[in-house]
Amino acid sequence: MAITLKKLEDQVLVITGATSGIGLVTARMAANRGARLVLAARSEGALQRLSDELAAQGAQATIVVADVGREEDVRRIAVAAEVAFGGFDTWVNNAGVSIYGKLADVPIEDMRRLFETNFWGVVYGSREAVKGLKQRGGALITVGSALSERAILLQGIYSASKHAVKGFTDALRMELEAEQAPVSVTLIEPSSINTPYVEHAKNWMGVEAAIPPPVYAPELVAKAILHAATHPKRAMVVGGGGKMLAASGFLAPRATDKVMEGVFAGEQRGDGSPQPHATNGLDHPAGELDERGAYAGHTIETSPYTWAVLRPGYTAALVGGLGVAVAAWRRSTNDHHGRGG
């Protein structure tokens, strides 16, 4: 069955993790483009401030205080969409948390809590989304990570959760395709992104946490999400750095291990003291309407790789043109040699 997605201005979007980072940028960008929104997060105060901000701009949004690690909360998000707008056209599984620390040092209860949000939150959200989308059609978009493809040390349990998310999403996509359900299932895999990710992570390293460069702007991820809401896509890596990491892990896994052990371990450790556990986003609501974090390095605002992914027609034309040029060069070279040049 062909999948047809509405124009963004005609859609209702559900966005979890809407009060911080990628979710917040996506919500504001979608509102600017005329979409109606169902915004979910754990922080009621931040949700209300965001709702007031969008209403002042003429946007329509309803808010739901919800912890995606609780199935009953996720069900309330779907009910709120039905009550406010008669349903939804796109569901974005975005909420996520992280932990820094060696796997031997991170308490098991923290690992389980992370999986409740990162993995089970996706499972609950996807199941609720599919119930509605199988009837009316639309898009299910899940924000994974470049670490869905290649694990990194010191964020081992986060990497494991994102691997699980990819496996679940890939299997769900195949099942829906086999049923010929009118649902587009997309996995977005961001590279390192300048959001409050580090500030919200629970840290067991004993030193300040950091994100390894290259680091990209959250707007790039939001644009990819909204593209997937209107164009059926299987998966998209955002940022060439993440694509290179995935490719190196596939082509040279042992060498990539060594690079990570020698370089990435140090790049994830800062010089300061770690964030106090009392402020981490694993155990407490942490969204305060901050799109970006305190990353002091250079944030890459554009990505030629992501630009090409969002415009496959241009990319095909470029590759085709390059192929024609190479073929012409080879013909001229052969002719030249054939004439005894």
User: 296 is written with which tokens?
Assistant: 């002091």
Spatial contact of 44 and 310, defined as CB atoms under 8 Å apart: no
Length of the chain: 341
* 124 labelled catalytic: no
Whether omega before 214 lies within 30 degrees of 0, making that bond cis, reads: yes
DSSP bridge pairs for 139: 90, 184
Contacts of 232 (CB under 8 A, 6+ apart): 3, 5, 139, 184, 186
- Rounded-to-10 torsion of CA 305, 311, 312, 318: -70
Planar angle of CA 109, 196, 260, nearest 5 degrees: 70
How far apart (Å, rounded) are the C-alpha atoms in residues 332 and 269? 55
Burial letters for 270-282: b for 16+ Cβ neighbours within 10 Å, e otherwise?
Answer: beeebbeeeebbb
User: Which residue of the set 158, 197, 216, 295 is catalytic?
Assistant: 158
- Rounded-to-10 torsion of CA 41, 173, 155, 194: -60
* Amino acid, res. 308: A
Task: Kindly list the catalytic residues.
Answer: 158
